Structures are given as structure tokens and as C-alpha cells.
Amino acid sequence: DMTGRRALVTGGASGIGLACARAFAARGAAVTIADFNEEAAHRAADEVSGTAWVVDLSDTESLDDLELDVDVIVNNAGIQRVSPLEDFPPDAFRLIQDLMLVSPFLLIRAALPGMYERGWGRIVNLSSVHGLRASPFKSAYVAAKHGLEGLSKVTALEGGPHGVTSNCINPGYVRTPLVEKQIADQARVHGIPESEVVEKVMLTESAVKRLVEPSEVASLACWLASDDAGMVTGASYTMDGGWSAR
Ligand code: NAD
């Protein structure tokens, strides 16, 4: 039950974030959708009877002085870029660090004083199996997710005495627009037809041969945000069909 909890979900207008927003709202939380897709953010906020915060989270300097009064943060907004290192556009690398590592830091930083005052808080970081394992052609994403793992652990250590937990969720490939957009890029860099990407690139390491559903990720986020998970912190929960068991 999340009645009375205020939850901020970044990238909440689509995919995993939207699934988390729906699941939190269904449990009674007041949800804010932070997303730079204005139309989709308002649509999602209306659907969950929540609030839209239209914001470009890669514009990190605008977040330096933020104060955030929330009980739960889901750091979820993210993008992917697939390219060999020697061709990787430097601006794209920086953008990914800003959006997926610097902005989570700034949102956590902005929310902790209020959480400490109330003695309760939950930080849920959408990492990835790529927070724990690497794949070729994803240097920026893998670097940002590995960084997020470190940020999450430090948050856990500092927040522990104040009732604030911080954890990562590490999914394999989830059925979302982010993955659908990636199929053409993967076909190009691996030199195979698009029809073969899911089986030959995305599911090779997974023992369970299907994509993860966004609602499955949201269910884990709900548990991590619950009182029951109060002793769970600094952890990284895989939901990768067995990928990281290899
Ligand atoms: P998605 O593309 O469906 O949704 C991402 C959302 O983030 C979109 O609503 C988009 O508008 C928003 N966003 C992007 N850039 C933004 C910016 N600069 N400012 C504000 N909002 C911005 O993606 P998804 O697949 O649901 O992924 C969500 C998270 O889960 C990401 O961090 C991703 O790395 C992680 N993840 C995804 C998968 C997967 O297979 N889909 C697997 C592991 C981890």
C-alpha cells in the first residue's frame, strides 16, 4: 500500500517508467511524471491522476538548486546509443552520462533532506544487466549504468541511518519503445537482418527466451518502494532471465 506516498518517476511517460507510475498509482501513491515528452507526460499524468513535470533531465545545470519533496524516486529516464567506440560521438557520450548518471545524482541530492527529516525514503534506480555486464558498442550506456550502481550503493550507505534505502533494478531486454528503436541499429552494427536481432543479439544470454514485460519490472519497483523492503538497500536485483547467472 502506497497511500500517502509521493513518488517521482523520471521517464514516466513511456515503457518501464509508465508501468511504474501505473503500479504506484494503483497502490494509492501520488505520482509525478518527469519527462521531456510534453504530450506523453501529460497523457500519462492524466491516466494515473498525477502531475506532469515537463523537464529535460539532460540539462543538468538547471537541476543544481532543485528542492524535491517526495518519498520515492524512480530514476528511470534513459536512452541508448549503439556505436563502436572509435565512432562514438563525444556529445552523445556526454548526453548519456548527464541524463543517466548526473541527473539521478541531482534528484537524489535534492530529495534527501526532506527524506531525512521524515525518516523515510526509497530510491529505485533503473539500472540494467548492463550495470553489471558489458556488451560491445554500448560504451556510454554501460559506463553510465555502472556509475549508477556506484551512486546507488553510496546513497544506501548514507541514507541507511535515516530510513532511506537505495537499490538498483537490473533488467535484461524489456519490451519497450527503447528496445524497438534499437533493433535497426543492432542489425546494422552486427550485420544481420532486423528480423534476427531479438533472437541472435538480445536473447542469446537469457535462459528464458522472451523479453521482460514492463509490468514485471514495475512489480519489483513496488516491492523495493514498500515498507517490507526496509532492510533491502545497496542491492542490485536482476530480472534478466538468467543472463547474469552465466
Ligand atoms: P523508453 O524509451 O520507453 O522510455 C524512456 C522515457 O524517458 C521516455 O518517456 C522519454 O521521453 C524519457 N526521456 C528520454 N530522455 C529524456 C530527457 N532528456 N529528459 C526527460 N525525459 C527523457 O525506455 P524504457 O525502455 O522504458 O527504459 C527506461 C529505463 O530502463 C532506462 O533507464 C533504460 O536504460 C532502462 N532499461 C531498459 C531496458 C529495456 O530493455 N527496455 C533494459 C534494461 C534497462
Cell of 215: 509490468
- CA 53 to ligand 1 centroid distance, Å: 16
Residue whose Cα lies nearest atom 43 of ligand 1: it is: 128
Cell of 207: 535462459
- Predicted confidence (pLDDT) at residue 28 exceeds the cutoff of 90: yes
Ligand 1 atom with the smallest distance to the CA of 178 is 2
Among 53, 61, 79, residue to substitute to test ligand 1 (most atoms within 8 Å of Cβ): 79
pLDDT for the residue 180: 87
SS3 52: strand
- CA 80 to ligand 1 centroid distance, Å: 8
Instruction: Name the least confident of 29-43, 58-72, 151-165, 184-198.
Output: 184-198
pLDDT for the residue 238: 98
Q: What is the mean pLDDT of residues 152-165?
A: 99
User: What is the value of ipTM here, to two decimals?
Assistant: 0.99
Sheet of strand 121-126: strand arrangement: 51-54, 30-35, 6-10, 72-75, 121-126, 164-171, 236-239
The model's pLDDT over 75-90, given as tens digits with 9 standing for 90+, comes to 999 999 999 999 999 9
- Predicted confidence (pLDDT) at residue 156 exceeds the cutoff of 90: yes
SS3 27: coil
Among 107, 135, 176, residue to substitute to test ligand 1 (most atoms within 8 Å of Cβ): 176
CA distances to 11, 87, 94, 98, 135 from 91, rounded to whole Å, are 21, 12, 5, 10, 20
53 lines ligand 1 (CB under 6 A): no
**What whole-number distance in Å separates Cα of residue 206 and Cα of residue 50?**
36
pLDDT for the residue 82: 93
- Predicted confidence (pLDDT) at residue 178 exceeds the cutoff of 90: no
Q: What is the mean pLDDT of residues 222-232?
A: 98
The model's pLDDT over 8-18, given as tens digits with 9 standing for 90+, comes to 999 999 999 99
The model's pLDDT over 101-137, given as tens digits with 9 standing for 90+, comes to 999 999 999 999 999 999 999 999 999 999 999 999 9
Q: What is the mean pLDDT of residues 147-161?
A: 99
15 lines ligand 1 (CB under 6 A): yes
75 lines ligand 1 (CB under 6 A): no
The radius of gyration of the chain from alpha carbons, rounded to an integer in Å, stands at 17
Average pLDDT, the chain: 97
pLDDT for the residue 192: 94
- Predicted confidence (pLDDT) at residue 149 exceeds the cutoff of 90: yes
- Predicted confidence (pLDDT) at residue 181 exceeds the cutoff of 90: no
pLDDT for the residue 66: 97
Annotation says 173 is catalytic: no
